[in-house]
Each structure stands twice: as C-alpha cells, then as structure tokens.
Amino acid sequence: MRLQTALQLAIRSLRLNLLRTSLTVLGIIIGVAAIVVVFAAGEGIKSLVVGEVAAYGTDIIETEAKTPTKKNTTPSAQVTTLKTSDMEAIDRLENVKYSYGAIFGQQKVSWQSQNKRVFLFGVSATYTDIDKKSQPIEGRFFTAEEDRGQAMVAVLGYKLRQELFNNQPAVGQWIKIGNGKFQVIGVLEERGGAVSMIDFDNTVYLPLKTLQKRILGVDHVLYLMHQLNDVSRADDTAEEIKLLMRERHNITDPDKDDFLVTTMEELLKTLNTVTNTITWLLLAIVVISLIVGGVGIMNIMYVTVSERTPEIGLRKALGATYRDIVSQFLVESILITIWGSLIGIIFGLIMAWILSLAANYVGLVWHFTIPWSGVITAIIFSLACGLLFGIRPAQKAAQLDPVEALRAE
C-alpha cells in the first residue's frame, strides 16, 4: 500500500471517531506541553540565577561560614567563627582589592503611621564598590568611618522607600528600627531579580558594626566577598585565603574547615549543574504523563481494531497484505502523536511565555526564549510513543484471519 493511500484511510478513520481521537490527542498535548514548559522554565531559572551571580563579575571570591554537619547539631545552629578581623586579614593579601562582610537580621521598621517588619542587611562600606547592582539613586551610602563608629544611619531598598515615604522625601528622615532611631541617608536603585528568600528592594541596609553591636549583639558575619585585582589568579588567591583562614582558626585538617571559599567560576559551574539536574528530574516526571498518553493511544487502537474487524477481513480478502494493514493502523497512531505534538508545542510555548511575564511582573529578570532542546525532545518522545504503543495493535489487526474477521460482521 502506498503511503498516500494509508494516510487517506487513517485520516478518514480518525475523522469518523472525532471525539475519541480528540481525547486521545489531548493526552499527547498535555505531555508535550509539559516538556516544553519544563525546559523553558529550566532555561529561565538558569538565566535568572546565573545572571544574579554573574552580576558580581568573575573577579569575586566568596568566603562563607560552613554550616555544621554533625548529627547532634540543631537545625537553627549557626557557625559564628567568621569575623570582621578575618576580612581585614584577607584584605591585606596582594591580589585582594577590597572586601565586605555581611550579616542579616529582622526588625520592625516604622515611620509615622507606617509599620513593617523587614530584613536588615548589615554590610561594610565597600559593598557598593563590589555589588554594581546596588547603587544609590538618592543620597549616599554609608562610609567606613560610620561603620567603625556604629553610626545610626540607614540606606533603604527601592520598594521600602516607596512603601514608607511614598512621594515624600526620604533622605534626612528619621525612622525607628526596633527601639532605636536611624537617619535615612540614601536609597538604592531598584535591584529586581531576587532569587533568594530576601527581597533586597524591601530591605534596610545598615553599617555592619551597627547591626552587629547595636541590634543583634554579635561579632560574627555570615559571609565575606572579595574583589580581586587580577582575575587570572583567582584560583591561587582562593588557596591563599584558605591557608590564611586555617592559620587564623587553628585548623590543621582541611576536612574540619569551618569556612568555605568559592570563586565565581566555581559557583557558576555548580549552579549550572544544579539547574540542569533539576530540569532533567522534572523531565523524567513529565515523561510519565507522555507515557500515559501513549497507553491511551494503544487502548484506543485496540478498540479501533475490534470495531473494524469486518473491514480488516474484507481488505485482506481483496488482497491487502500484512504490511498494508500494519501501515494503515501505524499511520493512524503516528498521526495522533503528530497532531498532539504540534498543538502541545504551541500550547507549551504560550504557557512558557505567560510564565516569563508573571516572573517579570513580580520583579524577576526572566528572559523568555524558545527551548529548542525541549521542542526536539518533545517531538522525539511523542513520535516514539506513537510507534511503540501503536505497533502492537497494528500487528494484531494484520494477524486477523480474513474468514474469521468477515464472520464477525
């Protein structure tokens, strides 16, 4: 049988059972659309997370407190061995341009009738020199002298400034943080793209020592960021920092390090690996729905063979070969998956586009791109389902005895 004849017969059969065909195609549409959305979301998350990290530049090294791993450690336990004195020692290394330390807190912030509980971000005065996405658009950032003197000054994130002061001037006003009064000296530009639990546009920035001593009553930091003079020596500088930290913390066994030193290149590689792994794990789950759609094709083809037994017997009696019958039913199965794939790809791209719009609406920098790898994967999987789940019913139809098939009429 020619392919054209097989196509004509397949299309006629599918049109005669339009409702059943549509329900079968729906299963494929859902599976294919899900694959496209998963790949698009994976690319969006990767661009978002990697973009946030890349904003610092590759000339950055991070030193952070390592979380305890002992079995008897409580979930709320913190490593408190990372100090500002460690930052000052690292700053003296030849390839380190400057560093900043950071720690977080939470307090109620109020101004007149406005009250809100927000994150407090204590950082060194060099913070805006390293983080290029955090620059003042009103007033200024605090100085090293204000940090050392534990000055009662504050810089507001963009959203928080709008919520507290609306159209009124913010710089020069006094706000209450906990039980203390702080003067607003600046407002940072809108950052957007928050990928962590903290919305930096809704945060109060305080001098590091002010937050440590006046509010939290601690002397440790959570992490340090270091900008380098020569990025080509990043790996060597990271090793120097490790050796210096072990010396300062009296650590002789590297396995007992209470800190973690990471270059931006290492961090980007790790993030890429994590996002790719998550994407493929989600894909594995989504493929199950596509397999369910394939089982639906197989079931519907078995029903079709049963209903068309007399027709199959007549065709075989008139000379149709085993190959002719297999081709006819296999073409029907493949047509279902092709229609489902095309509609599913279009639907999936629309959903991915809507997802990117929603992400941008809430302030995330999420770029929509057509996930060609997802489209190709969806097509391959759907066609494979059409072949695998359509071949057995097609063979059953071709193996029918023409005499018995005609009697079934």
Mean pLDDT of 325-347: 85
Position 58 in a domain: no
Considering the domain architecture, whether residues 27 and 80 belong to the same structural domain is answered as: no
The conformational region for residue 178 under phi > 0 = left, psi -120 to 50 = alpha, else beta, is left
Position 338 in a domain: yes
Considering the domain architecture, whether residues 243 and 354 belong to the same structural domain is answered as: no
Measuring CA to CA, which residue among 97, 65, 61 is closest to residue 241? 61
pLDDT tens-digit series, residues 184-201:
999 999 886 555 567 888
Flag whether pLDDT at 243 surpasses 60: yes
Flag whether pLDDT at 31 surpasses 90: no
Considering the domain architecture, whether residues 248 and 377 belong to the same structural domain is answered as: no
Considering the domain architecture, whether residues 91 and 231 belong to the same structural domain is answered as: yes
Considering the domain architecture, whether residues 129 and 214 belong to the same structural domain is answered as: yes
Considering the domain architecture, whether residues 183 and 240 belong to the same structural domain is answered as: yes
pLDDT tens-digit series, residues 256-289:
888 999 998 888 788 778 777 877 787 777 777 7
Q: Which of 214, 230, 257 is the last residue of a domain?
A: 257
Q: How far apart are CA 261 and CA 61, in angstroms?
A: 7
Considering the domain architecture, whether residues 92 and 124 belong to the same structural domain is answered as: yes
pLDDT tens-digit series, residues 74-84:
444 455 789 99
Compute the mean pLDDT over every residue in the chain, rounded to the nearest whole number: 83
Rounded to two decimals, the pTM is 0.67
pLDDT bucket at 93, cuts 50 / 70 / 90: very high
Q: How far apart are CA 53 and CA 47, in angstroms?
A: 10
Position 105 in a domain: yes
Q: Which of 257, 289, 309 is the last residue of a domain?
A: 257
pLDDT bucket at 69, cuts 50 / 70 / 90: low
Position 60 in a domain: no
Burial letters 309-325, b for 16+ CB under 10 A, else e = bebbbebbeeebeeebb
Query: What DSSP character marks residue 213?
Result: I
Residue for token pair 């530009």? 189
Considering the domain architecture, whether residues 313 and 241 belong to the same structural domain is answered as: no
Position 264 in a domain: no
Among residues of the chain, what percentage have pLDDT more than 90?
A: 35
Position 240 in a domain: yes
Considering the domain architecture, whether residues 48 and 77 belong to the same structural domain is answered as: no
Considering the domain architecture, whether residues 224 and 81 belong to the same structural domain is answered as: yes
Range of the domain at 80: 67-257
**What kind and span of H or E run contains 93?**
none
Helices (H), 179-263: 208-209, 234-248
The pLDDT of residue 148 is: 94
| The total number of structural domains that make up the chain | 2
